[in-house]
Structure 1
Amino acid sequence: MYFHGRGVPQSDEEAVKWYRKAAEQGDAGGQSGLGFMYDKGRGVPQSDEEAAKWHRRAAEQGNARGQNNLGAWYKDAQGVSQSDEEALKWFRKAAEQGNAGGQNYLGFMYQNARGVPQSDEEAMKFYRKAAEQGDALGQNNLGVMYEKGRGVPQSDEEAVKWYRKAAEQGNARGQSNLGIMYAMGRGVPQSYEEAVKWYRKAAEQGNEMAQNNLGNMYAMGRGVPQSVVEAVKWYRKAAEQGDAVAQKNLGVMYEKGRGVTQSDEEALKWFKKAADQGNVDAE
């Protein structure tokens, strides 16, 4: 059991019961909530098909969350046949109601030419709408566009501003990106200690890029006491999530016997994993 904000003991099963009652009476919020529970397998067996069914019912009533979720289902072929056109349709409906998730997804579709002609300017427009609502993912995405100069004039200072907003809300991508800016001294005074701080926050949330970068900081003794054992620990966490750079780095540690017992077999294993993903150094 847990308490759900208002002092009422709740359980997933109880939540499903009440979502279902509302949903079956045609309440769009209940339908969206029930779709979420099926998506996550909370209080019911996980079912993409049931999740898609209830998100559709909510979406067709104009529920913005249901529209955003149904769009995501079409984008990723989850519970429905993949269709960028259908995904775009539902993301646009959600975005037009001010739903930050729909705005972010719509930005993604424009950035990656999914169902629409590629347009960094349109992507920026929708990322900004989400970011200015305080949405952390939108803030990180907007930071990326400023860092890369896509759809806007390149600006490290603007990138840092938006990364920081995302990072301070706990967004792991924003934390990782802010760490990179501190490590490189881009848009902020260079500081390995600040880089380590933000890498660690992201790494502890499971962000593989930050885990690899934190491993690098330990390997080189930047912003932390040098420790090959800690470096290996963080490389391994990222490598096991499939990060090719970390797989290559972990292979190097096994090849040289740094922080682990030397093993050509383990080195080869990790180099091959990285090479299979196209990592040139590993190849």
Structure 2
Amino acid sequence: MICVSALPADFDRNAASTLRRLAAALAASTLLLGAAATPARADSVSAARSAYARGDFVRAVRVLAPLALHGDPRAQAMLGFMYENGFGTPQVYEVASDLYCQAAAAGNPFGQAMLGLMYDKGHGVPQDVVLAYKWLNLAAGHASPAQRSYYLRLRNAVASKMSTSQIAQGQALALNWVAGHF
């Protein structure tokens, strides 16, 4: 699933087609890496984290890719991070932002924060501080107390570049998202 719904209405639909091709490439690379479809399990994500911590990025991708393709938001967010930074994969911002978007849509705070940062930088998505604010605000609201203050600092850094009207728009988008998901 391509998470095009998070993109602005004026987003180039040819770019959406490119995202679909990149998602297909992700699926194909999963098969080429030898990743078998496995059930989404917490211990699988833990195994991927352990592989990542050891610097075995290719192994982490092999574990995460099938989980992400089957809709595990933690795997989507972590795999998005790997695509954003080129750890065990080519660096492809469009794939990273799509994976973050899918995780964010499922309510994953890390995915929401990372998608917000992608919008802030314009990496893989059109630069949009209002959407950056929305996703960082949602991340702070869904995060653990330990992570909340960090996400709030990121949100406030984005807000420092925004007008009062833009902040109000970002808050309204976040509230509308919450109303539609809970």
Q: Into which bin does the TM-score normalised by the smaller protein fall? A: 0.5 to 0.7
CA shift in 2, pair 1:133/1:216, >3 Å: closer
Between Structure 1 and Structure 2, the one with more helix by share is 2
Q: Give the structure 1 partner of residue 149 of structure 2.
A: 244
Which residue does 2:49 correspond to in 1? 144
How far the C-alpha of 1:139 sits from its partner, in A, is 1.8
Residues 135 and 219 of structure 1: is their aligned pair in 2 closer, same or farther, counting only changes over 3 Å?
closer
Following superposition of structure 1 onto structure 2, how do residues 18-37 of structure 1 map, counting pairs within 5 Å?
A: none
Q: Is the 8 A contact 1:140 1:162 kept in 2?
A: yes
Which of structure 1's runs of 4+ aligned residues deviate more than 6 A? none
Q: How many residue pairs get matched? A: 127
Q: Choose the corresponding residue for 1:195, options 93, 96, 116.
A: 96
Which residue identity lines up with residue 145 of structure 1 in the other structure?
Answer: S
CA contact (8 A) 2:100 2:114 kept: yes
Residue of structure 1 equivalent to 2:167: 260
- State the distance in 2 between where 1:220 and 1:133 align: 34
- Residue aligning to 1:220: 121
Rounded to whole Å, the distance in 1 between the matches of 2:101 and 2:135 is: 10
**Structure 2 CA distance, aligned partners of 1:168 and 1:195?**
13
Q: Report the TM-score, using the length of structure 1 for normalisation.
A: 0.42
Q: Which one has a bigger Cα radius of gyration?
A: 1
Q: Which amino acid aligns with 1:221?
A: G
Deviation by residue 1:57-87 (Cα, 9 ceiling, x = unmatched): xxxxxxxxxxxxxxxxxxxxxxxxxxxxxxx
Structure 1 partner of 2:111: 210
Give the one of 53, 75, 79 matched to 1:174.
75
Q: Does 1:158 align with 2:158?
A: no
- CA distance in 1 between partners of 2:44 and 2:73 (Å): 12
1:219, distance to aligned residue in structure 2 (A): 0.5
Secondary structure of the residue aligned to 1:240 is: helix
- In the TM superposition, residue 166 of structure 1 has moved relative to its aligned partner by 1.5
Contact 2:108 2:142 in 1 (8 A): no
Per-residue deviation at 1:188? 0.4
| Distance in 1 (alpha carbons) for counterparts of 2:158 and 2:37 | 43
How far did 1:236 drift?
0.8
- Please report how far the alpha carbon of residue 221 of structure 1 lies from its aligned counterpart in structure 2 after TM superposition: 0.5
Displacement after TM superposition at 1:155 (Å) = 0.7
Segments of 5+ residues of structure 1 without an aligned counterpart are 1-130, 262-283
Gaps of 5+ in 2: 1-35, 169-182
Give identity over the alignment, percent: 32
Distance 1:169 1:260, change over 3 A: same
The Cα shift of 1:132 comes to 9.3
CA RMSD after TM alignment: 2.0
Once the two structures are superposed, what CA deviation does each residue of 1:209-265 show, in whole Å capped at 9, x if it has no partner? 11010000001111011101110110110111243322101122333435426xxxx
Partner residue of 2:11? none
Q: Does structure 2 retain, via aligned residues, the 8 Å contact 1:139–1:165?
A: no
Taking the aligned partners of 1:184 and 1:157, their CA distance within structure 2 comes to 13
1:22-81 Cα offsets, whole Å, 9 max, x none, are xxxxxxxxxxxxxxxxxxxxxxxxxxxxxxxxxxxxxxxxxxxxxxxxxxxxxxxxxxxx
